[in-house]
Amino acid sequence: MYMHLQDRDSKQRAVRAKVVNGQLHARAAGQRVLIIEDDDIVADLLAIYVSDLGYTNVLRASTESGAVAATAEFAPDLILADVRLGEGGDGINAVRLANKKTGTALVYITSHPQLTRDESKAVTLPKADLTGDRLAQAIEAALLIRFVQ
C-alpha cells in the first residue's frame, strides 16, 4: 500500500498525530515499536512522533544486522523501516530476515518508495512526505492490514 504524495506546502503539513480521523490512536499502550533507520535525524523524528502517539516501548536499529538482532530479542508489534541503510545494509532484507513473527505491522518510510512495490503486506510512506499525521495514518493502515491477515 502506498501513501500518495499530497501537497508540498509545509504550512499545511500539520504534525499533529494523536488523533486519526477524529479518534484517539488508542492501541499504542503496551505495543513494541522497532525503528530501523540509519539517519539519526529521521530516527529521532520518528521516535518523537510515535511517542506523541502514545507508544512508550520503542527500540532503534541502524543496520541490517542490528535490526535482525533487535527483532529477535524485542519481538516488535510494529516496525517502521527505512529501505536503504547506507553501509549498514538493506531495510527490506532486514525485515524479511528478521520478521518471523506473524502479525507484525510494517511501515516503510523511504525516499525510494518504488523499491517496496512488491511488499504487499506493508504500507509505504515516502520520506519527503513524513509528518506526524501521515505517519499515524500509515500506522493505522498497517494495523488494519495486520488485522485482516
Partner 1 sequence: MASDALEDRIRQIRLRLEGRLTDLIADLDAALASAPAGAAPEGAFDLYTRLHNVSGSAGPVGLPEVGDAARALEELLTPWLKGGPALDGWREAFGGLKAAVAAGSR
Task: Note the residues at the interface with partner 1 (CB under 8 A).
Answer: 8, 10, 14-17, 38-39, 41-42, 44-45, 48, 52, 82, 84, 86-87, 110-111, 127-132
Residue 11: CA atoms inside 13 Å, Cβ hemisphere, count?
Answer: 0
Query: Look-up: residue for cell 527505512?
Result: 82
CB of 110 to partner 1, least distance (A): 8
47-58: b or e for each residue (b if 16 or more CB lie within 10 Å)? bebbebbbbebb
Closer to partner 1 at the Cβ: 14 or 144?
14
CB of 7 to partner 1, least distance (A): 11
CB of 52 to partner 1, least distance (A): 6
Closer to partner 1 at the Cβ: 100 or 112?
112
DSSP secondary structure of 28-55: GTT-EEEEE-S-HHHHHHHHHHHHHHT-
d(Cα 30, Cα 108) in Å, to the nearest integer? 22
Closer to partner 1 at the Cβ: 25 or 145?
25
Closer to partner 1 at the Cβ: 40 or 75?
40
- Residue 45, Cα to own-chain centre: how many angstroms? 11
CB of 74 to partner 1, least distance (A): 24
